[in-house]
Copies of this chain bind each other. A is one copy, B any other.
Amino acid sequence: MTQDKKPFMVAVEIPVSWGDLDAFQHVNNTVYFQWFETARIRYFEEIGFLDHLKATGVGPILAETSCKFRLPLTYPDTVTASAQAMDLGHDRFTMRYRVHSAEHGRLAAEGEGRIVCFDYRGNNKAPLPDPIRKAIETLEARR
């Protein structure tokens, strides 16, 4: 997973807060998933997925997610959380995340998410909308 060193297209810089630490004095594991979410939402904005959801009722649901913690983080630090979409299927795609620590100058965590398209009005799965598919392909082609 770490072989591919090219930066992901969508990246967000986030300061670590003192309050992100837990009783073990490290950034708590749940915070990494907040960072993934911040990168994911930014990615969705970039490809117009949230606007599409508002307009049509079809939007993303997170069906599964995972994180590998490469090194413990602490305060103070600034992380860059980035996201990439890949493996576009009929009604789903995969996101990959990376968290880079400025303090350590290297990868602190990486993860994945499985995004499924959902029709919130009809309350069932939906195909990945064409404009969203094209926006992802255009964005990822620039990488």
A15 engages B18 (CB within 8 Å): no
Q: Which residues of B contact A23 (CB under 8 A)?
A: 18, 21-23, 25, 75
Contacts of A53-88 to chain B: CB distance below 8 A? 61-69, 72, 75
A91 to B21, CA, bound (A): 25
Contacts of A15-38 to chain B: CB distance below 8 A? 15, 17-19, 21-23, 25, 28-30, 33-34, 37-38
B63 engages A64 (CB within 8 Å): no
Please state the number of chain copies in the assembly: 4
Q: Which residues of B contact A67 (CB under 8 A)?
A: 64-66
Give 11 A-B contacts (CB < 8 Å), ordered by A residue: A14-B15, A17-B37, A18-B22, A18-B23, A18-B38, A19-B30, A19-B34, A21-B23, A23-B75, A29-B65, A30-B34
